[in-house]
């Protein structure tokens, strides 16, 4: 499927990381999601019920990142992917791509941040 809906560079605050100080103080996280599905039925019918409501996708991403602390950004990505696939099962999302970036990573050097990208199918 080549059709997709993308939400790019969503920004949230969360308390995630393996170090105690990472979980003690909120820090920024950035999230991108791509949802692959056939957009033709929604486009022809002009019907939100036949596509992904990106308000709901945004809400899911926010809930995960701003929710309970986890150690790994991999865990955040998995939780987001799983919840999106379940939420949009009715519109037959065939694949979801989730990118999670942690701009303020604690490493002994200069870098823009750490990131993971996963692809999941139902």
Which residues are known to be catalytic?
102
DSSP letters of 11-65?
EEEE--SSSHHHHHS-EEEEEEEEEE---HHHHHHT-GGGS--HHHHHHHHHHHH
Residue 58 CB contacts under 8 Å (≥ 6 apart), including other chains: 7, 10
Say if residues 84 and 76 touch (Cβ distance below 8 Å).
Answer: no
């Amino acid at each position: 499927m080549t059709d997709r809906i993308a939400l790019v560079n969503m920004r949230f605050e969360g308390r995630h990381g393996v170090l105690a100080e990472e979980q003690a103080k909120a820090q920024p996280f950035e999230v991108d999601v791509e949802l692959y599905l056939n957009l033709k039925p929604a486009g022809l019918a002009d019907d939100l019920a036949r596509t992904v409501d990106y308000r709901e996708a945004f809400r899911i991403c926010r809930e995960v990142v701003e929710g309970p602390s986890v150690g790994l950004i991999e865990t955040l990505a998995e939780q987001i992917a799983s919840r999106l696939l379940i939420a949009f099962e009715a519109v037959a999302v065939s694949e979801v791509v989730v990118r999670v970036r942690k701009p303020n990573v604690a490493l002994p050097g200069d870098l823009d941040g750490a990131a993971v990208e996963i692809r999941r199918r139902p």
